[in-house]
Amino acid sequence: MAAIKVHGYHASTLTVMVLCCLNEKEVEYELVLVDLPTGAHKKPEYLALNPFGVVPTIQDGDLTLYESRAIIRYLAKKFQGQGTNFLGSTLSEEALVYQWCEVEGQSFNPPALSIVSQIVFVPMRGGSTDEAAVEMNVEKLEKVLDIYEERLSKSKYLAGDFFSLADLQHLPCTHYLVNACGKGDLISSRKHVNAWWEDISSRPTWKINFT
């Protein structure tokens, strides 16, 4: 069986999330470089795979799939019997995994990504950080993380006592918050959230991409 092709960029945390998933599942893959700094993601060859012009995109046989959350969900289901079990062992556990995946997408990611965009990406494009927008989104994220703190006081990971897709989905944006935005206090000031972050961000399959 041919290796899965991952079209992505090594400095893209969403690409790294997919690679982390593949490594956790012990699946062979080939990383096909999409050189973002030279605009390769906006060229016809790549747009033929992903019309939105973002990374990553995977090719698995006849399947071409983009959107990183959809990719890791596909990989978790296809390779459910090997490597890390991202979905739990019962229907109820799987339901909780998907619940917390939705929480990440709907409640955590919007304010977190807004903070990252204002502090990291806007200045990279020559703009100025909107401090009011940062402050507003920090307040929103604090409320979300207070709920996380309560949840993580009762279970090691978000969906239970096993590392799941829900935890994996938090790695890219939280990595930026902590390491590029100077917002690590949002995590470290909450005992259980901090323990959870220290755990998931220390997984060898994630760390290997930043050494």
- As a 3-state breakdown, the chain gives helix, strand, coil percent values, each rounded to 5, of 60, 10, 30
Residue 170: which pLDDT band, with cuts at 50, 70 and 90?
A: very high
Q: Which has the minimum average pLDDT: 1-5, 24-28, 137-141?
A: 1-5
pLDDT (tens digit, 9 = 90+) per residue, 73-89?
999 999 999 999 999 99
pLDDT score at 2 = 82
Mean pLDDT of 156-176: 97
Residues 52 and 148 both lie in one domain: no
Query: In the prediction, which pLDDT does 210 show?
Result: 67
In whole angstroms, give the CA distance from residue 152 to residue 31: 34
Model confidence pLDDT, tens digit, residues 114-154:
999 999 989 988 999 999 999 999 999 999 999 999 999 99
157: domain range? 91-202
Q: Please, which residues bridge with residue 8 across strands? A: 33
Q: In the predicted model, is pLDDT for residue 185 greater than 60?
A: yes
Same domain assignment for residues 153 and 192: yes
Paired residues of 66 in beta bridges = 57
Residue 111, helix vs strand vs coil: helix
Domain co-membership, 105 together with 149? yes
Q: What is the model's pLDDT at position 125?
A: 87
**pTM for this structure?**
0.94
Q: What are phi and psi of 29, to 5 degrees?
A: -150, 165
**Domain stop point among 79, 107, 135:** 79
Structure-token match 């690409």, residue found: 15
**Quick check: is 85 in a domain?**
no
In this predicted structure, the answer to whether residue 211 has a pLDDT above a threshold of 60 is no
Three-state DSSP class for residue 168: helix
Confidence check: pLDDT of 204 > 90: yes
- CATH code: domain of residue 178: 1.20.1050.10
